Amino acid sequence: MTILVEHFVSDSRVDEKKVIEERDDELVLDGGFVVPKSKETDAFDAPDMNFLGHSFRDYENGESERQQGVEEFYRMQHIHQTYDFVKKMRKEYGKLNKMEMSIWECCELLNNVVDESDPDLDEPQIQHLLQTAEAIRRDYPDEDWLHLTALIHDLGKVLLLPEFGGLPQWAVVGDTFPVGCTFDSANIHHKYFKGNPDINNPKYNTKNGIYSEGCGLDNVLMSWGHDDYMYLVAKENGTTLPHAGLFIIRYHSFYPLHKAGAYTHLMNDEDRDDLKWLHVFNKYDLYSKSKVLVDVEQVKPYYISLINKYFPAKLKW
């Protein structure tokens, strides 16, 4: 499925009203995106099932072809994401010499990208970005940095496209984890790490590995993918997003940490403060995935204004 996005008209007016319609059990935001409403709190209510009728992040239901594909993805990822591989990718993509473009131009590039590691989503990525951002915008109207962080958190998935080297899915998407230390059992499909050569390296197969307790996640190498790439792009292009925004971008796929509580021994005080915002963000990132599409043109002016506030007009990628 392809979603066509027309060029932005600079004199379009931004509709600041978040909720345009209310029903008994749902809210309809700008762009027509339906958000489940909690009867107790009048805020976002996480649904129990994804659009396929399965529990969210269900990696054990192997009956469907899609689930089997997800498991094969993690087998490949766990085998190939080594410390040396991550160092190589960071050196290559840290050059930021693939392209120059704006944030919104990058959003448009994602129209045909589907994340094969995600059992809950089969829509183009731009819809997931806008669904997440619009749901957060409704509940946290004054945190515009968080709205923008939601919009851009997955932009690093352009690594899948030929213009960026066409990396395999296992090198771009999926849950992330530290390399250079033992692979915690909280990682999805942990059994496949037995094929990773780092598991036999005494430098890397202890709890701390090459790190020290409390060293801070900024000093930890994460498995390579869209999270770390977008973090590098934002940081090196001089974004004015707060540190919590960069933390969300870099660690939003670090589910062993923010869902299972693993690897906390590597965190410092700043990480613990930022993790509170990541927990807020994750609820929307995971549970706002929907078959109801956002009207891109209706919400675009608002997000263009945030891009202009926090980023330069053109970025190096």
Tell me which residue has tokens 């919104």. Answer: 104
Amino acid of residue 170 = W
269 is an annotated ligand-binding site residue: no
55 is an annotated ligand-binding site residue: no
116 is an annotated ligand-binding site residue: yes
Contact (CB, 8 A) for 125 and 285: no
First to last CA, the chain: 26
Coil vs helix vs strand at 27? strand
154 is an annotated ligand-binding site residue: yes
285 is an annotated ligand-binding site residue: yes
80 is an annotated ligand-binding site residue: no
258 is an annotated ligand-binding site residue: no
115 is an annotated ligand-binding site residue: yes
38 is an annotated ligand-binding site residue: no
> Which of 156, 157, 146 shows the shortest CA–CA distance to 241?
146
Strands 315-316 and 100-101: antiparallel
What is the distance between the alpha carbons of residues 109 and 286, in angstroms, rounded to a whole number?
A: 22
128 is an annotated ligand-binding site residue: yes
Amino acid of residue 231 = Y
270 is an annotated ligand-binding site residue: no
7 is an annotated ligand-binding site residue: no
Burial 87-103 (b: 16+ CB within 10 A, else e): eebeeebeeeebbebbb
Binding-site residue ranges for substrate: 57, 115-117, 157, 174-175, 252-253
Binding-site residue ranges for Fe cation: 128, 153-154, 226, 252, 285
Binding-site residue ranges: 57, 115-117, 128, 153-154, 157, 174-175, 226, 252-253, 285
